[in-house]
Amino acid sequence: MTDRAVIGLTWLGQAGFRLAGARETVLLDPFLSARADRRHPPAVTVEDLLDTTVVLCTHEHDDHLDLGFLRALAAAGARPQIVVPEPVMQIAVAGGLDQALLVPAVPGAPVAVDGLTVEAVPAAHGHGGDEPVEYGFRYRGDAEDSYRFLGYLVELDGLRVFHTGDTLLYPGYADEIRRLAPDVLLVAINGRDHMREQAGCVGNLNEEEAAWLCRQVQPSFAIPMHHDGFANNPGDPGRFVGALGDSSDTTVIVPARGRQLRLEL
């Protein structure tokens, strides 16, 4: 009888996911702190996640690096290894995380955490706030090779999962993800526009761009994300499904928040 690759996957809302394997439990960009402007309350509690062994945070924005939640997780007794982009290490430490638990990630240098291997890919993201939105691999003033924004590939129990983080398309991006051969693609779909950018709201792939990326990579499963967090920064999973159409063998899953589903190959 052939062994099958099976994991449990729970969407936590926004860009957050829980991956449950036989021995390891991985959180990707968990955003679980209460915030007045979030559209939905946190899908799970700290107590639901005490079995976490690894946390992957793609960049420093607080809906991806939720320092309040990570401090609460540590206070409740969990001590997962926490992977962050190398330039974000000091932000994490200043935010109250134990430096002994932090693992720096840089593209081209896979890191081993709790028996898993994590590979990082640069993401073309940006910042907003009081300054005009500027997209790129890094904040202005950083070193040329200092990547603050990443996507991650992690293999768990035989299933390879790629999380785009927050990103736009850039030359070579699809080729790099295809090289990593993910079975599951967790892809941002909220897009961006002039009005949001004028308000300091940083955007990502839109639904059509995310569908194009899926066609290039051809994962077995695609899950749209980053579409439900805030009223001023939405995306449309139905539009993503329609854009992908029947031109791909990829199965699209639009999960409910907080409910584990079984992924199997």
The pLDDT score that the predictor gives to residue 134 is 66
The pLDDT, as a whole number, for residue 140 is 46
pLDDT at 126: 77
Q: What six digits make up the tokens of 229?
A: 């967090």
Nearest one of 111, 110, 57 to 85, comparing CA atoms: 57
Q: Number of helices and strands (H, E) in the chain?
A: 6, 16
Count of beta carbons in the 10 Å neighbourhood of residue 112: 10
Q: How confident is the model over 173-198, as pLDDT tens digits? A: 999 999 999 999 999 999 998 888 88
Tell me how far apart the alpha carbons of residues 48 and 133 are, in angstroms, rounded to a whole number: 36
Burial class (CB in 10 A: 0-12, 13-18, 19+), 234: middle
Q: Rounded to an integer, what distance in angstroms lies between the CA atom of residue 200 and that of residue 197?
A: 5
By C-alpha distance, which of 44, 46, 70, 45 is closest to 56?
70
Res 142: pLDDT: 58
Distance between CA atoms of 52 and 26, rounded to whole angstroms?
6
Task: Choose among 200, 114, 97: nearest CA to 155.
Answer: 114
CA distance 237 to 252: 10
Cα–Cα separations (whole angstroms), residue 42 to 38, 45, 55, 71, 163: 9, 7, 17, 16, 20
Q: Which of 104, 50, 45, 57 is nearest to 80 (CA)?
A: 50
Domains plus CATH for the chain? Answer: 6-255 (3.60.15.10)
How do residues 213-240 score in pLDDT, each as one tens digit? 999 999 999 999 999 999 989 999 999 9
User: 3-class DSSP state for residue 241?
Assistant: helix
Count CB atoms within 10 A of the CB of residue 233.
Answer: 22
The pLDDT value given to residue 162: 98
pTM, two decimals, is 0.94
Q: What is the DSSP letter of 144?
A: T
Q: What is the pLDDT of residue 198?
A: 82
Pairing verdict, β 102-105 and 81-85: parallel
One-letter identity of residue 107: P
Q: In the structure encoding, which two tokens stand for residue 37, read together? A: 């402007």
- Report the DSSP pairing between strands 221-225 and 125-127: unpaired
Per-residue pLDDT of the chain (265 residues; tens, 9 = 90+): 457 889 999 999 999 999 999 999 999 999 999 999 999 999 999 999 999 999 999 999 999 999 999 999 999 999 999 999 999 999 999 999 999 999 999 999 999 999 999 999 999 987 765 555 667 665 545 565 579 999 999 999 999 999 999 999 999 999 999 999 999 999 999 999 888 888 878 899 999 999 999 999 999 999 999 999 999 899 999 999 999 988 778 999 999 999 999 999 9
3-state class (DSSP) for residue 174: helix
